[in-house]
Amino acid sequence: MASCNKTDSNATDALPQGDNTVLSIQGVTSTAQVKSASVAAPTISISITGKDSSLIGTATLTQAKIAVKEIQFNMPDSEIDNEAEMEQEKEIEFNGPYVVDLITDSITPQLKPVALLPGTYTGIKLKLDKVEGDETNEDDGSALATEKDSIFQHSIYLEGTYTGTIQQVQYQDIPFTVKYDMDKEINFNTAGTKGFKVALDSVNNIIVAFNLDDWFNFANRETNPDQVDFSDLTVQTDANGNPYILIEKTEQQSDVNAAVQEVIEHNLEMSTRYGKDEDHDGRLGNKEDDDTANDNGE
């Protein structure tokens, strides 16, 4: 899966002087070949898993965007033993805002290379923040988003179609939308994290991967202790009587839909992985993943 910030060189002379680290943010799934080949209308298909681990349905997303305010890398306390490292811990490596397209893996404005001190990093802190409309795209000075953009006034926006079962009714390609306007700080430094090593004399390609399948995994007891099920959603109808799914925090939203949204929010943090792209193939392999439980994979 190609990254918009990926470099094919291992030498730091491919980067601006003093910089040694490139960050990519990607949307991935657990299934192979889920991203469409169409450049004009790219899509990504995600599986929706019920609380009993059965496949409830599939959502084909035409839009999947998140708004990121800032990103920070962290060393473990045991690695911090000089003033330079202490100062770096206070710094925000990437000051946004950024809009990340999890289908095309593009980021606006582009993430510029940064300089990191050599050592082991076991945490990444990422802050989601809704787009208010007064933010600027540093690449060209234009507005980051306007009222015409789907991410406007949101921090997460998913749109597409859903095929599957809701309340024992089978639906085919009905409109499907998920919206969040939350401001949320996500810390990717859970137990079992081995982190990644940053070298001073080579390009360090770091990848943060959001597994969109896992966002909709309702079988995870840790993130869904109340055993909410996606199939219990309330399907709404438009003025013409056509069904659609809208998951959004509003006063009119049903209790079940609000609970589903809460589970997705918890899943988001738990399902995100990061690591160093050691083989420079543009994707995060299991052995490159921060999670030590994946070390037996590819």
Domain ranges of the chain: 12-292
Model pLDDT, residue 5: 44
283 residue type, one letter: R
Model pLDDT, residue 13: 53
Helix runs in the chain, H state only: 83-90, 212-215, 255-270
Model pLDDT, residue 253: 64
Model pLDDT, residue 59: 97
- Give the tokens for residue 182: 């939350």
Beta strands in 29-121 (DSSP E): 44-49, 55-74, 94-101, 106-108, 119-121
> Is the Cβ–Cβ distance between 130 and 35 less than 8 Å?
no
Model pLDDT, residue 192: 53
Give the burial string for 47-74 (b: 16+ CB within 10 Å, else e): bbbbbeeeebbbbbbbbbbbbbbbbbbb
Mean local confidence (pLDDT), 215-223 = 96
Dihedral sign, Cα of residue 256, residue 257, residue 262, residue 266: positive
Question: Across the chain, what does the average pLDDT equal?
Answer: 86
Given its phi and psi angles, is residue 188 left (phi above 0), alpha (psi -120 to 50 degrees) or beta? beta
Bridge-partner residues for 158, per DSSP?
64, 178
282 or 14, higher pLDDT: 282
Running DSSP on this structure, what letter comes out for residue 89?
H
pLDDT digits (tens, 9 = 90+) for 26-79: 999 986 545 665 556 899 999 999 999 999 999 999 999 999 999 999 888 777
Confidence of residue 93 (pLDDT cuts 50, 70, 90): confident
pLDDT above 90 (res 289): no
> Is the Cβ–Cβ distance between 26 and 102 less than 8 Å?
yes
Cα(275)–Cα(268) distance, rounded to whole angstroms? 17
259 residue type, one letter: A
Distances (CA, A) of 134 to 10, 131, 137, 153, 226: 38, 8, 10, 11, 39
Number of continuous H segments (helices) and E segments (strands) in the chain: 3, 15
pLDDT digits (tens, 9 = 90+) for 125-168: 999 999 998 999 999 999 999 999 999 999 999 999 999 999 99
Confidence of residue 15 (pLDDT cuts 50, 70, 90): low
Cα(252)–Cα(176) distance, rounded to whole angstroms? 17
Q: What is the pTM of this model?
A: 0.87
